[in-house]
Amino acid sequence: MVPFADDLPDARIHLLEGGHFLLESALDEVARLIRDFLGQVALHG
């Protein structure tokens, strides 16, 4: 999938179409992923 996936087996990797200005083209999706991640990190410490 991506070169570093084997080195970081617990990493959450999301490949998004968007190029250099990802927040301009996929803001809703990026925001959802960040909120989900932060919610899980806050719950699990």
Domain boundaries, the chain: 1-45
Q: What is the mean pLDDT of each run of 10 residues along the chain (45 residues)?
A: 82 89 94 94 72
Instruction: Give, in degrees to the nearest 5, the angle at Cα 32 between 27 and 34.
Output: 95
Confidence at residue 14, expressed as pLDDT on a 0 to 100 scale: 92
Non-local CB neighbours of 22 within 8 Å, separated by 6+ positions? 16, 30
The residue whose two tokens read 């996929």 is 26
pTM above 0.95, yes or no: no
Confidence at residue 19, expressed as pLDDT on a 0 to 100 scale: 87
